[in-house]
């Protein structure tokens, strides 16, 4: 079973309007609601693929009750801990594009956090892999993910972490098996690690060339994570792993809604980790699910057949020949499934 | 006791943002929630003034549960009927002004409507005045307010109706004691009554001169309502009553938030009806509460002391000397409290 953890869950509300006009009143013809937060998006993708999954985290108040009810309607097994404060809403007003309003979410008390950890400790005993996603609600210590990763390892579960900023930085030394920063999150991490630099001239000082991404992923990996899988939007993934550096690209640039594409790739990383699959297979699966999410008519959903069709078209390349011997996720050798390799890291003109 | 009826109640959500930017994501620092819908606004004003009030209507789903909880927190006595579908939210994003998103609200089944009417029949037996406010949710017959007004009269209660469009038109012949259209609602009513006219050239064909408003209010009154009190925004009220035509004006134009000002004036009309107060007093109270709502720091709230201070400054003028003999709200004679009168209707240069 894969356990997803969503500490700052949300009720995602979408309003479709003809055109958003500032300072006007809009009668919304159609309201869509979804149980949201990155961890729940991962759970939804896994459930849609038929993978056994359970969702945990924190829910509070009437909005939390609504999220719980939507999860039940979706058939997603869940075991959330209740908090007193209200779960947040995110409101997306969609005309030709989305305008978003994100509530701040609950303030969690130390007692609630302790009670959640006790519940989590019993849940991870049944989990092969734990996926920890998204921001931390107010009130939690910045090393909350570090604590949960350590507890998962103690219970024999592997971990995928998809968060950003300080909670990500504070979790690196807990040695999560995989982290999945996007380019902006990786850059923030590198700039914070190199504390003398400001972020104002980030684009100039750290252009997102493939060489920089590869170097950055490798640098972060030294700090603890078994693998650093960097999501590059339409350019696919670049992964620093115990078996070397990998690049996985979709065959073409897809048009569609990128919302939830990152969560779909995390779902693939989680089931690859559970199955101890070879890195090229895991990365091809991650790019395929991500592409299927972009192509889906409903944001963040994945049609399994579309994903299967995409999977055969993903180009996975080993960028370095040598692996290393640091302990990482115990994945199978990838030699038999590796696509054409290149021996050196080149800058991609697309970056 | 005054009973307020809110058939299409709402959870009013306010997001304060620095500046609404289309197609951007806004992190909302502050979320305000309020039990909303015009009837609940009336109940809140009456409760704030210390008047015995009970709120009824329809609430559904998790959003309905949230509204119920907010009413309890506000100390407003309520007796709502549950429906299966979700109560609507209204989201107001406020920067220098408000941008609104109004959900459509629940679809009410015939069984739910019948069950509500049974509950309402027992509630009106304890009510001196029933206030019926706002739009009808989908699924209700257009003459829903007519039915409720008749049931109230059968139980010995008087009625104030504040709605618009077809539900207002369909309720006129049920003879509500007072209706309170604003200028736009009055115009719509007159144009629908005169069915050969289109509404495209409304401003040209029916400018909102005082003579037109007075004539229109009188014409509508002939169709059933005991009194037609037209709210004119900063210009105050114009009322066609069984005791003649009245104009009530605030002494100066107030700056502030006009949201809820109409509901505050309805609260005054309801308690005036309950107390069988003289029309000049009722109208002065209505303009004073409305002005206090505009001046209030929180939209739609009324500070009793501010209202008392404003009340002495309201200019109430009898526009016609003669009353008529049609049965209307049994109010006391207004001769002793009437302000200076004018014998004819003049166009106001402010209109």
- Expressed in angstroms, the distance from the first to the final Cα of chain B is 37
Contacts of A12 in chain B (CB under 8 A): none
**pLDDT (tens digit, 9 = 90+) per residue, B277-312?**
999 999 999 999 999 998 887 767 888 888 999 999
**pLDDT (tens digit, 9 = 90+) per residue, B100-136?**
999 999 999 999 999 999 999 999 999 999 999 999 9
Cross-chain Cβ contact B15/A101 below 8 Å: yes
Cross-chain Cβ contact A26/B93 below 8 Å: no
pTM: 0.83
Residues of chain A with a CB closer than 8 angstroms to some CB in chain B: 13, 15, 17, 20-29, 31, 61-63, 65-66, 69, 89, 91, 93, 96-104
Query: What's the full length of chain A, in residues?
Result: 351
- The candidate with the shortest Cα–Cα distance to B271, out of B164, B153, B178, is B178
The answer to whether B227 and B241 are in contact (CB under 8 A) is yes
Contacts of B93 in chain A (CB under 8 A): 101
Sheet bearing B158-162, strands edge to edge = B81-83, B53-60, B2-6, B129-133, B158-162, B178-179, B227-231, B237-241, B244-249, B315-318
Residue of B30, B62, B91 best to disrupt the A interface, most CBs of A under 10 A: B62
Sheet bearing A10-16, strands edge to edge = A30-36, A10-16, A88-94, A98-102, B25-27
Please report which residue ranges of chain B form alpha helices under DSSP H.
38-48, 61-74, 110-124, 144-154, 165-171, 183-193, 202-205, 210-221, 261-275, 279-295, 304-311
- The candidate with the shortest Cα–Cα distance to A258, out of A236, A232, A233, is A233
The answer to whether B317 and B339 are in contact (CB under 8 A) is yes
Cross-chain Cβ contact B28/A63 below 8 Å: no
Q: Which sign, positive or negative, has the C-alpha torsion B317, B323, B329, B335? A: positive
Rounded Cα gap, residues A273 and A178, in angstroms: 9
**Long-range CB contacts (within 8 A, 24+) of A332-340:** A332/A276, A332/A277, A332/A278, A333/A243, A333/A278, A334/A243, A334/A278, A334/A279, A334/A280, A334/A281, A336/A278, A337/A278, A337/A280, A337/A281, A338/A280, A339/A280, A339/A315
Tokens 């209507």 sit on residue:
B57
Residue of B8, B15, B18, B22 best to disrupt the A interface, most CBs of A under 10 A: B22
Average pLDDT, chain B: 88
Cross-chain Cβ contact B63/A65 below 8 Å: no
Rounded Cα gap, residues A263 and A290, in angstroms: 8
Q: What is the pLDDT of residue B42?
A: 97
- Expressed in angstroms, the distance from the first to the final Cα of chain A is 37
**Cα of B341 to nearest chain A Cα, Å:** 40
And the tokens for A126? 């049944």
- The answer to whether residue B336 scores a pLDDT higher than 50 is no
Q: What is the pLDDT of residue B325?
A: 42
The answer to whether A188 and A158 are in contact (CB under 8 A) is no
- The answer to whether residue B347 scores a pLDDT higher than 70 is no
Rounded Cα gap, residues A46 and A21, in angstroms: 38
Active-site pick, A263, A275, A303, A324: A263
- The candidate with the shortest Cα–Cα distance to B13, out of B99, B72, B92, is B92
Residue of A91, A96, A97, A137 best to disrupt the B interface, most CBs of B under 10 A: A91
Rounded Cα gap, residues B313 and A312, in angstroms: 80
Active-site pick, B263, B275, B303, B324: B263
**Cα of B32 to nearest chain A Cα, Å:** 10
- The candidate with the shortest Cα–Cα distance to A290, out of A182, A210, A214, A188, is A182
Helix (H) or strand (E) run with residue B249 in it = strand B244-249
Q: What is the pLDDT of residue A254?
A: 74
Can you give the pLDDT of all 351 residues of chain A as single tens digits? 999 999 999 999 999 999 999 999 999 988 999 999 999 999 999 999 999 999 999 999 999 999 999 999 999 999 999 999 999 999 999 999 899 999 999 999 999 999 999 999 999 999 999 999 999 999 999 999 999 999 999 999 999 999 999 999 999 999 999 999 999 999 988 876 554 445 555 666 778 889 999 999 999 999 999 999 999 998 999 999 999 999 999 987 777 778 889 999 999 999 999 999 999 999 999 999 999 998 887 767 888 888 999 999 999 999 874 444 444 444 444 443 444 433 333 333 333
- A and B: number of Cβ contacts within 8 A: 85
**Cα of B338 to nearest chain A Cα, Å:** 40
Asked if the ipTM is above 0.85, the reply is no
> What is the SS3 string spanning B214-240?
HHHHHHHHCCCCCEEEEECHHHCEEEE
DSSP one-letter code for B256: S
Residue of B23, B102, B257 best to disrupt the A interface, most CBs of A under 10 A: B23
Nearest to B23 among A17, A28, A98 (CB): A98
Nearest chain B residue (CA) to A68: B62
Instruction: For residue B192, name the pLDDT band (cuts at 50, 70, 90).
Output: low
> What mean pLDDT do residues B319-331 have?
52
The answer to whether B87 and B10 are in contact (CB under 8 A) is yes
**Cα of B185 to nearest chain A Cα, Å:** 17
Rounded Cα gap, residues A229 and A206, in angstroms: 18
> What is the SS3 string spanning B79-148?
CCEEECCCCEEEEEEECCCEEEEECCCCECCHHHHHHHHHHHHHHHCCCCEEEEECCCCECCCCCHHHHH
- The answer to whether residue B348 scores a pLDDT higher than 50 is no
And the tokens for B131? 């206030």
Measure the CA angle with vertex B86, ends B85 and B92; round to 5°: 150
- The answer to whether residue B71 scores a pLDDT higher than 80 is yes
> What mean pLDDT do residues B320-324 have?
52
Of the candidate ranges A226-230, A242-246, B64-68, B258-262, the one whose mean pLDDT is the lowest = B258-262
Would residue A303 show up in a list of annotated catalytic residues for this protein?
A: no
Nearest to B102 among A13, A26, A97 (CB): A26
**Cα of A105 to nearest chain B Cα, Å:** 10
DSSP one-letter code for A135: P
Which residues have C-beta within 8 Å of that of residue A217, sequence separation ≥ 6? Answer: A186, A228, A230, A238, A239, A240, A245
Nearest to B62 among A26, A62, A91 (CB): A62
Cross-chain Cβ contact B65/A65 below 8 Å: yes
């Amino acid at each position: 079973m894969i356990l997803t953890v969503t500490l700052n869950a949300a009720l995602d509300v979408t309003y479709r309007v003809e055109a958003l006009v500032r300072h006007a009143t809009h009668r919304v013809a159609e309201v869509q609601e979804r149980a949201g937060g990155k961890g729940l998006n991962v759970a939804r993708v896994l459930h849609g693929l038929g993978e056994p999954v359970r969702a945990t985290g924190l829910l509070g108040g009437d909005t939390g009750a609504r999220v719980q009810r939507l999860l039940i309607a979706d058939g997603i097994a869940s075991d959330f801990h209740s908090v007193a404060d209200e779960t947040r809403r995110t409101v997306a007003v969609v005309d030709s594009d989305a305008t978003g309003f994100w509530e701040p979410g609950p303030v969690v008390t130390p007692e609630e956090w302790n009670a959640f950890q006790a519940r989590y400790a019993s849940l991870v005993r049944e989990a092969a892999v734990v996926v920890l996603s998204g921001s931390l609600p107010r009130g939690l210590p910045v090393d909350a993910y570090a604590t949960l990763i350590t507890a998962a390892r103690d219970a024999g579960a592997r971990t995928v972490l998809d968060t950003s900023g300080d909670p990500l930085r504070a979790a690196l030394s807990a040695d999560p098996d995989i982290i999945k920063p996007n380019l902006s999150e990786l850059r923030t991490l590198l700039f914070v690690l190199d504390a003398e630099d400001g972020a104002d001239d980030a684009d100039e000082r750290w252009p997102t060339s493939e060489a920089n991404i590869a170097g950055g992923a490798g640098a972060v990996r030294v700090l603890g994570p078994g693998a650093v899988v960097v999501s590059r939007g339409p350019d696919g993934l670049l992964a620093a792993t115990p078996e070397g550096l990998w690049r996985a690209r979709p065959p073409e640039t897809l048009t569609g809604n990128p919302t939830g594409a990152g969560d779909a790739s995390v779902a693939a990383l989680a089931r690859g980790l559970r199955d101890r699959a070879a890195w090229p297979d895991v990365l091809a699966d991650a790019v395929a699910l991500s592409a299927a999410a972009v192509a889906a008519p409903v944001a963040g959903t994945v049609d399994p057949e579309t994903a299967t069709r995409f999977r055969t078209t993903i180009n996975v390349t080993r960028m370095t020949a040598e692996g290393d011997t640091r302990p990482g996720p115990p994945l199978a050798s990838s030699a038999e499934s590796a696509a054409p390799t290149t021996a050196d890291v080149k800058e991609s003109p697309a970056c």
